[in-house]
Structure 1
Amino acid sequence: MAKAKIHPDQLGFLFEAPAPARGEAALAGIEQRICRTVGSILNSDSRSREVIAAEMSVLLGEEISRAMLDAYASPARDGHKVPMSRMFALVVVTHRHDLLDPLLREIGAALLVGEEVHTARLGDIDREIEQLKEERKRLAVSAPRIRRGK
């Protein structure tokens, strides 16, 4: 399996809105793609799988072994599907959010990490300001002055 480039703190975010999977068999093969992603995450980390498994165990409060990680990384092992909790723990422990994002895009979602949410909120605030400016212009056309007492 080819090693994924190591960019643990850099998420190459795509600004195209992802379209959710629709229709018959739109998510067919997702388990194999998840397995390949797990393999890429594990192969791109310089630490041993035992260390990664130990860190996941601490994070989840349950025992994760190297053998489990090996099974999750193998698309040929149909009986070893990766539970979402363990996928999330693997991403957190390895800081490979960039490899989770493409999987989320298959269901119409995109990943913001940490304080990147503030950037999205800034965009939302800007949209709200524009809408309020438009409303102000519409009202200004017909709004009378408020009478003043002397």
Structure 2
Amino acid sequence: MAKTRASADQFAFTFDAPQPATLPAALAGVDARVARTVAEVLKNDDRDRLVIAAAMSVLLDEEVSKAMLDAYASPARDGHNISFARMLALIAVTNRFDLLDRELRAIGAAVLVGEEIYTAEIGHIDSEIEKL
């Protein structure tokens, strides 16, 4: 897999608990926000969009084209929103878990990647021991 350019915030991680979206209109405009995230993922990857689309197609076992990626990356094309499955495939082929984390924090969730789950499990065990 080709190297991707790292953005300044790609390595930023916080252990602050994200707050769930509960207020009225807390998720208003999320489609445009996701489109901007797709655009950011694509902009910061050195590979051609054709290559990214092909990698996504392989993961999903369905056709994803460069034109689809272009449409998903445009907030103005609100009739062409990326599906959750395709967003996951895009994140998987570009390794931009930081951007997925950023989007999930809007609903009170966070992303752990790979062996980071062990760190969370250790923290959970320590917390349970303290309670006992």
Query: Residue 32 of structure 1: CA displacement?
Result: 0.5
**Aligned partners of 1:11 and 1:97 also within 8 Å:** no
Distance 1:104 1:40 in 2: 16
Which structure 2 residue ranges, 5 or more long, are not aligned? none
Q: Does 1:117 align with 2:132?
A: no
Q: TM-score, normalised by structure 2?
A: 0.91
- State how many pairs are aligned: 127
Over the residues paired in the alignment, what is the CA RMSD in angstroms? 1.5
State the match for 1:127 in structure 2. 127
Tell me which stretches of 4 or more aligned residues in structure 1 moved more than 3 Å. none
Aligned to 1:48: 48
Identity of aligned residues (%): 61
Preserved contact between residue 53 and residue 64 of structure 1 (Cα < 8 Å): yes
Q: Map of 1:136-147 to 2, 5 A cutoff?
A: none
Distance 1:82 1:113 in 2: 22
Deviates more, 1:22-31 or 1:69-78: 22-31
Q: CA deviation at 1:23?
A: 2.2
Letter in 1 for 2:131: Q
SS in 2 for 1:106: helix
State the TM-score, normalizing by the size of structure 1.
0.81
AA partner of residue 85 (structure 1) = A
Q: Which 5+ residue runs of structure 1 have no aligned equivalent?
A: 133-150
CA separation in 1, counterparts of 2:128 and 2:18?
23
CA distances 1:121-146 after superposition (whole Å, capped 9, x unpaired): 000111122222xxxxxxxxxxxxxx
Amino acid at match of 1:24: P
1:102 alignment counterpart: 102
